[in-house]
Structure 1
Amino acid sequence: MTSIGVLGTGIVGRTFAARLAELGVDVLVGARTADSPSLEPVAALGVRTGSFADAVAHAEVIVNATNGLHSIAALESVGAEALAGKTLIDVSNELEPVEGGFPKPLASADDSLGQRIQTAFPELRVVKALNTMNCTVMVDPSIVEGDHVVFLSGDDAAAKDQARELLATLGWRPVQVVDLGGIDTAAAVEMTMSLWMRVTMARGSDAPRFNWAINSG
């Protein structure tokens, strides 16, 4: 994979930017405006920056690393026409802030951010992936030993192939990639964030990174 656009300048976006640049991928990270102060830490990594629209125009494959509460608004600022035909790998989670505690995942069995993005932009090819783990594991699965997994949810087979290509670039092996089916299955993976939060709290913030695995006889 030679070029990627990344939407978002938070910890997830910066982690993707640094890792992709390290791997030799031509990456451009976008914020709401090209002169946003939030882009300064990204530029310090030696990574190209611009607006959300610039990031979308940069590559056929886009990583949505925006705050899930604002993802649809970020995409609306780009426009449906510019997004048409692009593949969006949505790694975000919609998390409601909780004063003094961990944020609350908002996904339910009948609703997910991935589904709503696909509905809002029907010509955008949405693949939900990587949202079930810490961002350091997203970009470097070797951090966790064994055949822990990453899930794919999406309606477009070609877009899923592009997602697999990005995953392979990041170091994910085919045996670790589990295709759950259509974008409706994004609800299930987004709901796992409630469990992820509880496990993280129980283990403590200083515990080694972890991820989910599927073990069978």
Structure 2
Amino acid sequence: MTTIAILGNGRVGGSLATALARAGHEVTVADRTPGAAADAARSARIVINATPGAGSLERLAALREELRDTILVDVSNATTDGPDGLPADLLYPGSSLAERLQEALPETRVVKTLNTMLFPVMTAPAALAQTPTAFLSGDDPQAKQTVRELLTDLGWHHEWTTDLGGIETARATEAAILFVPHVIRTSGFTPFAISITR
């Protein structure tokens, strides 16, 4: 059992909380208010950022002390939205939210994952007709291994996960968000994920 704090109580955070609690972890969900987030992060070994990406950097940078020596799992994408509310462009072109978080939180081990899919796939990857891929980006190998084990509790087989390397590789997976609005416009909100097939 691991103590996990999930920052963000929307569809993503709620779905992850339910699945991880079902797997036997001690899970706390905090809304976006500073006090609730600080209290949740302070006592957790793993913190999951499920807040809207456009405001994540400011919110989490304010939790530098609470996040010291923890693993921060970042599942968000930082984008600007188009008129229809869907992602239109990257907020940090030439970089990524994960990289900015690691810079702002040098004593926190940031791992980027689960950001290349619609949220239902995060906790039910086997529901897709084809095998999806969960990517891992981060500078700390031990932290990535811990997150990989956490993914198995969400139904991800080890062979379905791909370690891309350092935190700078997160800019590639975050850029994948630009596929999403086009797929949604043509196919609706049917769950999908990016997959590497060989």
TM-score, length of structure 1 as denominator length: 0.85
Percent of pairs identical after alignment? 42
Deviation at 1:140, TM superposition (A): 1.7
- Unaligned residue ranges in structure 2 (runs of 5+): none
The residue number in structure 1 matching 2:194 is 212
Structure number with bigger Rg: 1
Deviation at 1:203, TM superposition (A): 1.0
SS at match of 1:83: coil
The residue number in structure 2 matching 1:37 is none
In the alignment, is residue 11 of structure 1 matched against residue 11 of structure 2? yes
SS at match of 1:209: coil
* Alpha-carbon contact 1:62-1:88 (below 8 Å) kept: yes
In the alignment, is residue 104 of structure 1 matched against residue 88 of structure 2? yes
**Which residue identity lines up with residue 215 of structure 1 in the other structure?**
T
Equivalent runs, 1:69-148 vs 2, <5 Å? 69-78=54-63, 80-106=64-90, 110-148=94-132
| CA deviation string 1:42-81 (max 9, x = no partner) | xxxxxxxx71112212321111000111111221332x22
The residue number in structure 2 matching 1:183 is 167
Matched positions, count: 198
Equivalent runs, 1:20-39 vs 2, <5 Å? 20-33=20-33
| CA deviation string 1:156-215 (max 9, x = no partner) | 01110111111011110010000111000000000001012211221123xx31212222
In the alignment, is residue 67 of structure 1 matched against residue 49 of structure 2? no
* Alpha-carbon contact 1:61-1:162 (below 8 Å) kept: no
* Alpha-carbon contact 2:6-2:49 (below 8 Å) kept: yes
SS at match of 2:183: helix
- Unaligned residue ranges in structure 1 (runs of 5+): 35-49
Matches of 2:125 and 2:32, distance apart in 1: 30
Deviation at 1:147, TM superposition (A): 2.5
Deviation at 1:108, TM superposition (A): 5.9
| CA deviation string 1:124-181 (max 9, x = no partner) | 1000000011111111212213432000000001110111111011110010000111
The residue number in structure 2 matching 1:46 is none
Distance 1:191-1:108 versus aligned 2 partners, 3 A rule: farther
